[in-house]
Amino acid sequence: MKVSIVGAYNSKFGAFVKRDRETGEVEDLKSFYELLTEAGAGAIADAGLEAKDIDAIWVGSCSPSLFVNQEHVGPLALEIDPEGLLFKPTTRTEGACATSSLAIYNAAYAVASGRFKNVLAIGVEKMNTLDTSGVTHALSCCSYWPEEGNKGMTFPGLFAELAKAYQEKEELSPEQLRIMLAHVTALNYRNGIQNPLAHFGPGSIPDINKLTTAEAILNLPESGKGSNPMIAPPLRLHDCSLITDGAAAVVLTSSDNAKASFNHAVELSGIGHVTDRMMLKERIGRLHELRATRHAVDLALKEAGATVDDLDLAEVHDCFTINQLLCVEAIGLSESGRAGYDFMSGKYDPDSDCPINLSGGLKSKGHPVGATGASMHALVYKQLVGEPIGVAAKGNPEVGMTVNIGGSGVTNCVSVMRRLK
């Protein structure tokens, strides 16, 4: 049984706190609980349903116990509508940055089994209640703790290893790689400042400071106000995604029911869910590529009966700019070693055959880790049903792809999404 998305919602992404610089006290301007219920209610309404029509709920949240001192978050979804959802089953998923793609997949499997008719999948994260060191620790818990997080290895450090491996494999000079990554940053900023829901959206720092060309990124100073300092060589500040609060959700049902009963339907035509070994040391020799991601792409395309040439757009996991290069090569849109040159040539700009990260990606839209997968699915859904948020794909797109990755290339979730109506 095939399953389709029939409603979707993406909250505004941002840093929804007010921090006193003298005392360090934090005022929460939009709570974890508010984000969760807003997204869930929004998706149900977008599907034209009522809460009582939902049979089960999956909630993806990566590390709520560290971010907001809250575990057991599945039952919180009942607060969307306590009367309509009372006694409905809820389940929480976790898979680092791929957390809410797993929520969507498990919800889809439940529909495909025939057990439930309409299900809701939500992704949510509230990160900005912690300071930078607190966030760094929380995310480091998604690495192999004994030998990575516990030894001071951060996620910028982990992805720097991928960047160095890619640079060496492709025989790129430091300046060549820096220019390629600056083109990725600039593209995502250009797209993001047109997305009203993006963390770095209209009126944000990239918009105000006109950071929309590679040259502007490259000309930023090394230190001081408005600088682009090195974080983990060769990755700089503007190569890193944002610490973001946000939520997104989708409603799923069988494709047969979607075609019969809903105004819009986008089928999850193919799913690729692949896990690689977590320890970076066990992947030495292949860090220059996302081999597991490529396998997930192959599985998703095969199930969908599609090829890479069928794709009209893709949202990929640019937690760091190097990963955007690796993702388009894993998809097969760029040949190995050619992604940087392709971004430099404008191959993935909005008017291209397969634009990348029209939302602004994690770099500009933001990366509330537990919500990212759901957000990718929600925004591709909106593109395919003719209700794009921000930059629109050209023409009348029918097929999109999401590439959502948890950890340092470990949990790989790839969806091929095809418009039914």
Which are the catalytic amino acids?
A: 97, 367
Cα distance between residue 3 and residue 252, in whole Å: 7
The residues that bridge with 268 in the sheet, in sequence order, are: 417
Determine contact, residues 238/230, Cβ cutoff 8 Å. Answer: no
Distances (CA, A) of 217 to 32, 164, 183, 198, 251: 33, 20, 8, 19, 39
Q: How many CA atoms, within 13 angstroms, populate the side-chain half-sphere of residue 156?
A: 19
- Map residue 17 onto helix, strand or coil: strand
Please give the distance of CA 316 from its chain centroid, rounded to a whole number: 7
Determine contact, residues 45/3, Cβ cutoff 8 Å. Answer: no
- Map residue 95 onto helix, strand or coil: strand
The residues that bridge with 405 in the sheet, in sequence order, are: 412
Determine contact, residues 38/11, Cβ cutoff 8 Å. Answer: yes
Which uninterrupted H or E stretch holds 299? Answer: helix 291-304
β-pair type (17-19, 26-28): antiparallel
Determine contact, residues 338/88, Cβ cutoff 8 Å. Answer: no
The string of DSSP letters for 34-78 reads HHHHHHHHHHHHHTT--GGG--EEEEE-S-HHHHHS----GGGGG
Contacts with 81 (C-beta within 8 Å, 6 or more apart), sequence order: 41, 50, 51, 52
Cα distance between residue 338 and residue 328, in whole Å: 10
Instruction: Name the one residue in this structure whose structure tokens are 């959802």.
Output: 85
